[in-house]
Amino acid sequence: MLRRLACRRGDVVGVFLMVSTFLNPFAARAGTDAPPLPAAPDGRPLALVFSDDFQTFRPWTGNDGVWRATLGDRLQFGRDRRSMPGGEDEIAHAVDPVIGRLDAFAIDRGVLEITAQPAPTNGMPGTGDYPYVSGLISTQPSFSQTYGYFEMRAELPQGKGLWPAFWMLPTDESWPPEIDIVESIGDPSHVYMTAHSKFGRTAGVEADITPNTFHTFSVSWDAQQLIWYIDGGEAGRVATPEDMHKPMYLLANLAVGGTWPGVPDASTRFPAKLMIDYIRAYRFDL
């Protein structure tokens, strides 16, 4: 079934091509640590350039490590951002890897769990007076690349107001462009894959998948096109926008609230978890 859907994220209106299909309903749950791919689904050889299988969590320390727990440093985006600004209206504060009992990051048998939960009512320092706390990881200080194949194997959470995402932003701090490799808004059986650009309208695809299990979400990005995959099957493609030819870095997070997903209600169960088995990046080895 194909249809067109208008969807607003912030101030950008997107036009999506929807693909209704259940992809690989028998995907294994956790801890598989599948070997790196020798080739993309379209046959192009790949060379692995970044990989984290989350046997441990490696926070960026300023000199080494991998993951920054914010949207940028105090230079990136102008300040140490812990929630999307402006029209997004998120209501969760991204906490540091260790903040008392509110650590949003845990490793369980090779799976990173990013946890969202209500903020304590006693006003614990570091929560930014937000009603919820959660976590974000970014390779902004440690890895970026122009073009390639990027993948995350993860299980998405369910619940109104939850907004898990795996995405990419440019290192030069411009916006757009942005590549959303996968997002969902409360319903893990329905996912969005999007290219944001300042040239023309935002474009992407949607897909229906089996919920409550692990899937591998990927994008192939080159100078001509973006192709999204779920469990190795193509979900859709668009032409690469004119402003998407520069280095970009990886982010994964579990946001709460916002103009798109809405706010949690009584049906939303906390703590909620985005569970990530691995994140990998490849270059085309041509």
- Given 90, 151, 155, 178, which residue is catalytic? 178
- The segments of the chain whose pLDDT lies below 70 read 1-32, 72-91, 93, 95-102, 121-129, 200-201
> What's the CATH number for 43-188+213-284?
2.60.120.200
List the domain boundaries for the chain.
43-188+213-284
pLDDT value at residue 66: 94
Active site (annotated) includes residue 183: yes
Closest-CA residue to 107 (of 33, 181, 21, 4)? 33
Instruction: For residue 207, count CB atoms less than 10 angstroms from its CB and return exposed for 0-12, middle for 13-18, buried for 19 or more.
Output: buried
Question: What was the pLDDT predicted at 120?
Answer: 78
pLDDT of residue 1: 23
The enclosing H or E element of 279 equals strand 272-284
Q: Which residues of 105-114 are buried (b: 16+ CB within 10 A; e: fewer)?
A: beeeebbbbb
SS3 category, 198: coil
SS (H, E, C) 13-26: EEEEEEECCCCCCC
Would you call 242 a catalytic residue per the annotation?
no
Cα torsion for 52, 58, 62, 64, to the nearest 10°? -60
Residue 128: the pLDDT is 59
Residue among 88, 151, 155, 183 flagged as catalytic: 183
